[in-house]
A and B are shown apart, each in its own frame.
Chain A
Amino acid sequence: MSVRTTRAARPLRRGLLGVAGLAGFLAGWQLVPALGLVDPQYLPYVTDVLARLSEQLVDLAFWRRLGATMTSWAIGLSVATCAAVVLGTVVGLAPPLRRATHTTVEFLRPVPSVALIPLAVLMFGIQRQAALVIIVYASFWQVFVQVIYGVADVDAVARDTARSFGLTRRERLTHLVLPTALPYLMTGLRLAAAVALILAVTAEMVIGNPGLGRMIELSRSAGDAVGLYALVVVTGLLGLTVNLVFRFVERRALSWHQSVRGEETG
Chain B
Amino acid sequence: MTTHPGRIATTPRRRGVGPRIAAGLGHALGLPTLLLVAWGLAATRATNRFLPGPAAILDAFVDTWVGPAFVEDVLPSLYRLGLGVAASIVLGVAAGAVIGLTPWLRELLEPLLEFLRAVPPPVLIPVVMLLLGITDTMKVVVIASGAVWPILLNTVEGVRATDSVMTETARSFRVSRWQRLRFLVLPAASPRIMTGVRQALSVALILMVISEMFASSAGLGYRIAYFQRNYLIAEMWSGILLLGGVGVLLAVAFGLVERRVLRWYHGIREVHRA
Contacts and interface: CB of A to CB of B under 8 A. Distances in A.
In the complex, is A directly touching B at CB under 8 Å?
A: yes
B187 to A, nearest CB: 15
A110 B201 contact: yes
Contacts of A99: 27
Contact of B244 (A43, A110, A138, A149): A110
Given A21-B109, A119-B50, A38 B131 contact: yes
B130 A42 contact: yes
B118 A101 contact: no
A243 B113 CA distance: 10
A145 B123 CA distance: 27
B130 A156 contact: no
Contact of A107 (B117, B163, B248): B248
B114 A239 contact: yes
B114 A14 contact: no
B40 interface: no
A160 B114 CA distance: 39
Contacts of A138: 206
Contacts of B240: 111-112, 115
Contacts of A199: 120
The listed residue with most A CB atoms (<10 A of its CB), out of B150, B199, B245, is: B199
A51 interface: no
Interface stretch (A59-67, A171-179, A182-190): A182-190
A102 B248 CA distance: 9
Contacts of A262: 160-162, 164
A216 B31 CA distance: 42
Interface string A1-21: 000000000000110011111
Interface string A100-134: 11111011111111110011001000000000000
Given A102-B28, A191-B150, 14 more contacts: A14-B107, A17-B108, A103-B248, A106-B202, A106-B247, A106-B251, A114-B209, A138-B206, A142-B150, A149-B195, A197-B118, A242-B114, A262-B162, A262-B164
Interface of B: 27-32, 35, 48, 50-51, 103-104, 107-112, 114-123, 126-127, 130-131, 149-150, 153-154, 157, 160-164, 191-192, 194-195, 198-199, 201-202, 205-206, 209-210, 213, 221, 224-225, 228, 236, 239-240, 243-248, 250-252, 268-269, 271-272
28 contacts: A21-B110, A21-B111, A21-B112, A22-B112, A37-B131, A107-B244, A109-B202, A109-B247, A111-B206, A112-B206, A112-B210, A112-B224, A112-B240, A114-B209, A115-B209, A115-B228, A118-B50, A141-B199, A156-B271, A187-B157, A191-B199, A194-B118, A202-B122, A220-B123, A232-B123, A236-B116, A236-B118, A239-B114
